[in-house]
Structure 1
Amino acid sequence: MNHLRNHLRRRQLAALATGALLTAGITLAAPASAAVRPTPLVVNARWGGHCTYDRIVIDLRGHAPRATVTRVPRLVHDGSGAPVPLAGKYFLQIRLHPAAAHDRAGAGTYRGPRLVNIRLPQLKGLALTGDFEGYVTFGAAFGAKPSVSSFTLHGPERLVLDVAHRNVCR
């Protein structure tokens, strides 16, 4: 019984001490190992045509976030659901998380195109379709069903999507 009383007393004292520190505005620093990496910023998107593939590159500041690439029946802007006016028969949604296209003050960090029509063998258009609550989303339009591979490159950080097509260099 004495052991239980001592345990409860220690817990009460710890709670009181924590409350006093918080009331005084003093916080204890978390250990460096518990540090959270800052949200990566999306700064640009670009593309290029090659003999057997078209490439989309999304440039980042900070670490490369997780990216999901999903086939969708049509492209819409996040939040509003408004259609994205890109010509194409097939569409991919490229979503990065955690990521932002704006800094902590709300100023835009993304300097690339918001919506652009492209005339490559496979890639027909690219649009920034969302930047909301830790998600940055792009939409890409294609003339034929895309066969895509994605990977990250470092120094500087960037997400790369290669979309295969027939050899146009022969």
Structure 2
Amino acid sequence: MIHPRLHRLTAVTSGVLLAAGLSLVAPASATTAAAGRAPAQTQTPLVVNARWGGHPTYDRLVIDLKGGLPSVTVTPVSHLVYDGSGKPVPLAGKFFLQIRLNPAAAHDDAGHSVYKGPKLQKIFLPQLKGLALTGDFEGYVTFGAAFATNPYYRTFTLHSPDRFVVDFAHTNRC
């Protein structure tokens, strides 16, 4: 006959070993959920607005973000087109820049737009003449900017809140 204390010790040891073995093979989300915590997810940065302003020696474009800063490329292009359709963007200009953020989205998980800025806007600044949201698809958000003259620009990021900034230089207009 097995002593009750030995029986209890064997049961507890078996339970600990069984639980340890299960936690080694269970996916992290299952063990996290079992522990009463939500699984960790990487959040795609959201593009929520675009705005601009004129200054004595430069025009500034600011893209407001929520949830972090994505990678951004700014590329001179010969013309602007809408992502997906390839249709031309109706912005007047001789020079254009494509601004592409990735990974990023201008919509939430349910597909509702979180972007509150302009979709297509003529702008009357010394350098920046127009802005369009040209795409929000498969982790990329794309803008197009139009200019009358070839733009000299610099880019940088700001935090609290997160923003991507492009300054377009021009001669002093004061």
Which TM-score band (shorter chain)?
0.7 to 0.9
Moved over 2 A (4+): 26-30, 34-37
Q: Does 1:144 align with 2:149?
A: yes
Tell me whether 1:65 sits opposite 2:92 in the alignment: no
Instruction: Percent identity, please.
Output: 66
Aligned length: 146
- C-alpha distance in 1, partners of 2:123/2:42? 35
Question: How many angstroms does 1:131 deviate by?
Answer: 0.1
- Match among 18, 27, 30 for residue 30 of structure 2: 27
2:113 alignment partner in structure 1? 108
Mapped partners of 1:35, 1:84: distance in 2: 39
Query: Where do 5+ consecutive residues of structure 2 fail to align?
Result: 1-20, 34-38
What is the rounded CA distance, in whole Å, between the counterparts of 1:51 and 1:143 in structure 2? 18
Structure 1 residue 111 displacement after superposition: 0.5
Deviations along 1:71-114, one digit per CA (max 9) or x if unpaired, are 00000000000000001110000000000000001110001000
Q: Which runs of 5+ in 1 are unaligned?
A: 1-13
SS of equivalent residue, structure 1 residue 27: helix
The Cα shift of 1:36 comes to: 4.5
Q: SS of the counterpart of 1:87?
A: coil
Aligned counterpart, 1:6: none
Identify the match of residue 79 of structure 2 among 56, 70, 74. 74
- TM (normalized to structure 2)? 0.79
Larger Rg belongs to: 2
Instruction: Give the secondary structure class of the aligned counterpart of 1:71.
Output: strand
Are 2:97 and 1:87 aligned? Answer: no
What RMSD, in angstroms, separates the aligned Cα atoms of the two structures? 2.0
The letter for the 2-side match of 1:105 is: A
Deviation at 1:37, TM superposition (A): 2.8
- Deviation per residue, 1:112-148 (Å, 9 max, x gap): 0000000100000000000000000000001110111
2:30 is paired with a residue of what secondary structure?
Answer: coil
Whole-angstrom distance in 1 between the partners of 2:163 and 2:123:
20
